[in-house]
């Protein structure tokens, strides 16, 4: 009953929020833990936090002239309250997602931790790290023929 009421209230105010909530509840009904189903815990939440950090950095350094370390220092100053994002709604929203309350952002006020997130810009595909298979040559074909003949 409460869930229907919540969905009704949300559907009136924000269709995007309703879609997120419905999608999460479907996953929850399918057996997934609620926090993970809604994307507020686990790897999805960590990636959302990391993307919020990258977004905040893009907003503070739009021309990309700063080093990753400089960007991390600037963002740490916003997060600890030394600098204010007043008047920049997009930056305020990105900082809110990184948020001091989130268990996934604890410790991310340190310049080093923010720098580490910025340094790893995208997830590495492990298959890209594997060496390419050697190309077959005529010599390999000859070698295979000799092995077959000897058997």
Domain-embedded: residue 128: no
Q: Residues 6 or more apart from 74 whose CB is under 8 A from it?
A: 57, 60, 61, 66, 83
Q: Are residues 61 and 86 in the same domain?
A: yes
Q: Are residues 49 and 117 in the same domain?
A: yes
- Say what the pLDDT of residue 70 is: 93
* Enclosing domain of residue 13: 7-39
Answer yes or no: pTM beyond 0.85: no
* Selection from 58, 38, 39 nearest residue 47 by Cα: 39
Q: Are residues 111 and 48 in the same domain?
A: yes
* pLDDT tens readout for residues 86-108: 888 888 888 877 765 555 555 57
CA 5 to chain centre: 32
Q: How many domains does the chain have?
A: 2
Q: Are residues 19 and 59 in the same domain?
A: no
Q: Are residues 34 and 47 in the same domain?
A: no
Residues of the chain with pLDDT under 50: 122-123
- Say what the pLDDT of residue 31 is: 92
Q: Are residues 78 and 106 in the same domain?
A: yes
- Say what the pLDDT of residue 123 is: 47
- Say what the pLDDT of residue 13 is: 66
């Amino acid at each position: 009953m409460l869930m229907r009421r919540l969905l009704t209230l949300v559907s009136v105010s924000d269709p995007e929020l309703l879609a997120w909530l419905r999608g999460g509840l479907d996953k929850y009904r399918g057996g997934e833990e609620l926090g993970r189903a809604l994307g507020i815990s686990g790897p999805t939440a960590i990636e959302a936090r990391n993307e919020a950090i990258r977004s905040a950095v893009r907003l503070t350094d739009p021309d990309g002239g700063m080093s990753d370390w400089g960007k991390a220092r600037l963002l740490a100053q916003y997060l600890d309250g030394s600098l204010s994002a007043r008047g920049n709604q997009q930056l305020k929203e990105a900082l809110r997602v990184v948020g001091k309350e989130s268990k996934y952002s604890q410790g991310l006020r340190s310049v080093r931790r923010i720098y580490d997130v910025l340094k790893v810009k995208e997830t590495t595909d492990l298959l890209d790290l594997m060496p390419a298979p050697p190309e077959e040559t005529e010599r390999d074909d000859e070698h295979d023929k000799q092995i077959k003949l000897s058997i």
